[in-house]
Amino acid sequence: MPELPEVETVRRGLVDVLTGREIVQAEIMDGRLTAPVPPDVVAHELLGAVVESVGRRGKYLVIGLDDGRSLVWHLRMTGWFHHVSERADRPHLRAVFGLDDGTWLLYSDQRRFGTARLVGAGGLDDFWRRRVGPEPLEDWTAADLRRALRGRRAPIKALLLDQNVVAGVGNIYADEALWQARIHPLTPGESIGPARATRLHDAVVDVLGRGILAQGASIDTYRRVDGEPGSMQERFAVYDREGEPCPRCGYPIRKIRVAQRGTHYCPNCTPRR
């Protein structure tokens, strides 16, 4: 699933091609994308709208329209926007938008888990409630993290995946941050004190920042808006490196299951207390 660095990379690509553009054609071919609202209703509502901004909250893209409404899009596992000069059939195409400069924005989604919601003016606060927590690259602090972990007995890996603890972190960057902070992924959240909370906070911020600089990780279907891959997958310390030597100590990376997710760590330099 695209995480914060991948979604932020997509956002930056969409800013360049969508800002100030009018949507002159709209076709949504997948009812699951906009459910429970019928796709033709959403497509009709988007006709003639001018894009004023492209933002992000956690893993959500927020396309601001000139009438105050927002199109909130979640790529989920395999969603992908690609900007092209001519309309063309692509595998797993779910939505097509024609822009007033003659170009096209296409949305493909192999697994069909992506969602698009048209939110009325002033409705974003209600939309975010209970969906996402603090943005890690803004005013999120180590103290905020420790408060969110207080009394939580679940493994820290599972808690990092909880979008109400911190928005935008997923399986890849949780593994990378825990390795960098030298915290075992099965460590109960409530047992993490101030020093380790600070290390983990700093590691989360660092790995997300590096992921953005690398324009995301292209492991499976993720691509930038221009169709090119990111390069963060070439920089992983532990994720997807089972059996390979730890870059810190040389011990083989191990893979376990935490919160039903494949989890990579070094049992030597990140031991379980």
Give catalytic status of residue 157 as yes or no: no
pTM: 0.96
pLDDT in tens, 168-193: 999 999 999 999 999 999 999 999 99
pLDDT at 267: 97
65 has a pLDDT exceeding 80: yes
Q: What is the dihedral of CA 8, 14, 20, 26, to 10 degrees?
A: -130
**Residue-by-residue DSSP string for 190-243:** GG--HHHHHHHHHHHHHHHHHHHHTT---SSS---TTS----GGGS-SSTT-TT
Give catalytic status of residue 8 as yes or no: no
Active-site pick, 3, 6, 8, 176: 3
Burial of 166 (0-12, 13-18, 19+ CB in 10 A): buried
13 has a pLDDT exceeding 80: yes
Quick one: average pLDDT of 141-148? 98
pLDDT in tens, 23-62: 999 999 999 999 999 999 999 999 999 999 999 999 999 9
89 three-class SS? coil
Question: Which strands, in side-by-side order, build the sheet including 104-109?
Answer: 23-28, 93-99, 104-109, 79-84
Q: How far is Cα 110 from Cα 91, in angstroms, rounded to an integer?
A: 8
Domains along the sequence of the chain with CATH: 4-128 (3.20.190.10), 142-265 (1.10.8.50)
pLDDT in tens, 197-234: 999 999 999 999 999 999 999 988 899 999 999 999 99
pLDDT at 88: 83
Active-site pick, 11, 56, 57, 59: 59
Give catalytic status of residue 111 as yes or no: no
pLDDT at 215: 97
Quick one: average pLDDT of 68-87? 96
pLDDT in tens, 232-248: 999 999 999 999 999 99
Active-site pick, 2, 5, 134, 185: 2
pLDDT at 56: 98
Strands (E), the chain: 23-28, 51-57, 60-65, 70-74, 79-84, 93-99, 104-109, 115-119, 254-258, 261-265
pLDDT in tens, 79-129: 999 999 999 888 899 999 999 999 999 999 999 999 999 999 999 999 999
Active-site pick, 112, 235, 248, 261: 261
Give catalytic status of residue 255 as yes or no: no
- pLDDT range class, residue 1, cuts 50, 70, 90: confident
pLDDT at 221: 85
Q: How far is Cα 3 from Cα 248, in angstroms, rounded to an integer?
A: 25
CA-to-CA separations, 83 to 75, 126, 207, 228, in angstroms, rounded: 15, 31, 28, 11
DSSP-assigned letter for residue 86: S
